[in-house]
Amino acid sequence: MTPSTFQPLSLADFDISPERGFLPSDPWETLPDCPTLNYLNREMPKLLSTRQVRRFIDGKPSLLPAVSSRWRDEEYRVAMRILSFAGHAYVWETPGQPAVKLPSQLARPWYEIAQKLGCPPVLSYVSYALDNWRRLDPTKPIQLDNIVLLQNFLGGLDEEWFVVIHIQIERQAGPGLESLLRAINAVSTGKDDEVLLGLQALASAQTDMRNTLLRMKERCDPYMYYNRVRPYIHGWKNSPSLPNGLIYDSVEAYAQQPQQFRGETGAQSSIVPCLDAGLGIRHVPDPLTMYLQEMREYMPPNHRVFLQALESQTDGQGRAVLSGYVHDRRQSHPELWSAYCACVGLLAQFREIHIGYADSYINRQQQTSTSNPTAVGTGGTPFMTYLQKHLDETKQAIVV
């Protein structure tokens, strides 16, 4: 591969930070001059615990003044977060009795904001995690003892911890993504030492991410997650409770027809797909690969474009440039191959930990639950068999 056939990648071109990855700058907590929406942001746990969300929203002629084309990106994102929490609280407020229609004062602004941001009007990982945090001390780093959520459904330790673990992993992914690009870009000039340094730094970031994921059970109990956290993040596609989807009242584009959107899920995070793409992990098509492809529709547009850019970096044999490069140097540069194997191995460990959590937090819980009896992920798809297959395919990448 020569420089003329390879376009170096930079995180800055996709508005991604080497320090915080896919996390934005510190999100806004409230929306200026929108008291009703800010009230929903602040009082959601109280309204939901007393089952007053629907009554409150139904009693308001408007939740949000006209959406302005002059808003800053931060304003669209905070509005999207609050409306998304409000929409899911409205639908799932009463167990076993989901709302089948959103009122126009909620549906229309939610749709308009979603259009501005290039995503569906449903709670996604962006609003649930990426745009939903603040630092207790703004002068200190984004780390577990210094980040809290801006918004909750019911609140409590388990809900808080479940989300901030994801936020911390996203922050730790930043240096990893930067290091991955360092390795990929060095391939074009044949700088083995630079490729090696990039892979070693990526492995360090992956180790931090793995260690954070291992802490999930410290403060998030599987029973509490399944019964108090999970019910509110479900969507309305492949939903036994809403088989026809959800009507967004007075949204002209939907013509009063029920819409089906997936629920919030960590599968909407761009981290693992980007690591797969950069490291050249291939998955034979299956229902999960189809589902993960669909999950890209819920990612911010710039994240989708970055992922596509990584996937486009192939050599003349159709291999991912980085994996092809190190495979070809297994004998001549074994240290390079070992560093690559370490990164793939850490990705496999991350997947394996996730499978364990999917089993204990969902699969085992649904076997004894009558209130939330579903063995599918929050996105609305069966998962256990295919998660194991993707883990096996990750490990296969370093079998020679």
pLDDT at residue 69, rounded to an integer = 83
Count CA atoms within 13 Å of residue 226 on its CB side.
24
List Cα–Cα distances, 165 to 211, 299, 372, 390, in angstroms. 10, 19, 23, 23
> Is the per-residue pLDDT at 240 higher than 80?
yes
What is the Cα 336 distance to its own chain's centre?
A: 31
Structure tokens at 97: 């009795």
> Is the per-residue pLDDT at 246 higher than 70?
yes
> Is the per-residue pLDDT at 4 higher than 90?
no
Higher pLDDT, 7 or 226: 226
Domain ranges of the chain: 26-396
Strands (E), the chain: 101-102, 134-135, 147-148, 247-248
Q: How far apart are CA 311 and CA 289, in angstroms?
A: 15
Of the listed ranges 159-163, 335-339, 359-363, 380-384, the least confidently predicted one is: 380-384
Q: How far apart are CA 302 and CA 29, in angstroms?
A: 23
Q: How far apart are CA 288 and CA 389, in angstroms?
A: 9
Q: How far apart are CA 42 and CA 399, in angstroms?
A: 52
List Cα–Cα distances, 150 to 7, 16, 120, 131, in angstroms. 39, 22, 21, 9
Phi/psi-derived region of residue 21, left when phi > 0, alpha when psi is between -120 and 50, beta in every other case:
left
pLDDT (tens digit per residue) in 327-337: 999 999 999 99
Q: How far apart are CA 260 and CA 348, in angstroms?
A: 32
Of the listed ranges 39-48, 54-63, 211-220, 382-391, the least confidently predicted one is: 382-391
Higher pLDDT, 363 or 97: 97
Strands (E), 127-242: 134-135, 147-148
Q: Percentage of the chain with pLDDT > 70?
A: 95
pLDDT at residue 5, rounded to an integer = 52
- Determine the residue type at 142: I
User: What is the three-class DSSP state of 314?
Assistant: strand
Pairing relation of β-strands 134-135 and 147-148? antiparallel
* Right CATH for 26-396 from 1.20.58.480, 1.10.10.10, 1.10.4160.10, 1.10.357.10: 1.20.58.480
What is the DSSP code string of 81-114? HHHHHHHHHHHHSSTT---SEE-HHHHHHHHHHH
**Residue tagged 């939330």 (tokens):** 372
> Is the per-residue pLDDT at 113 higher than 70?
yes
Mean pLDDT value across residues 215-234: 97
Q: How far apart are CA 391 and CA 400, in angstroms?
A: 17
CB atoms closer than 10 angstroms to residue 69: 6
Q: How far apart are CA 118 and CA 235, in angstroms?
A: 18
Q: 25, 78 in Cβ contact below 8 A?
A: no
| Residue 378: pLDDT band with limits 50, 70, 90 | low
pLDDT (tens digit per residue) in 183-210: 999 999 999 999 999 999 999 999 999 9
Mean pLDDT value across residues 24-41: 96
User: What is the three-class DSSP state of 243?
Assistant: coil
> Is the per-residue pLDDT at 1 higher than 70?
no
pLDDT at residue 68, rounded to an integer = 82
pLDDT (tens digit per residue) in 171-185: 999 999 999 999 999
**Residue tagged 């063995």 (tokens):** 375
Element spanning 206, H or E:
helix 192-213
pTM exceeding the 0.85 threshold for the entire prediction: yes
Element spanning 303, H or E:
helix 301-311
Nearest to 1 by CA among 195, 267, 189: 189
- Mean per-residue pLDDT over the chain, rounded: 94
Structure tokens at 264: 């919030």
Q: 212, 168 in Cβ contact below 8 A?
A: yes
Nearest to 266 by CA among 131, 167, 352: 167
Mean pLDDT value across residues 11-18: 97
| Residue 72: pLDDT band with limits 50, 70, 90 | very high
248 beta partners: 102
- Within 12-126, residue ranges assigned H as helices are 35-49, 53-58, 73-92, 104-117, 125
Mean pLDDT value across residues 78-101: 97
Pairing relation of β-strands 147-148 and 247-248? unpaired
pLDDT at residue 376, rounded to an integer = 53
Q: How far apart are CA 81 and CA 170, in angstroms?
A: 18
pLDDT (tens digit per residue) in 294-343: 999 999 999 999 999 999 999 989 999 999 999 999 999 999 999 999 99
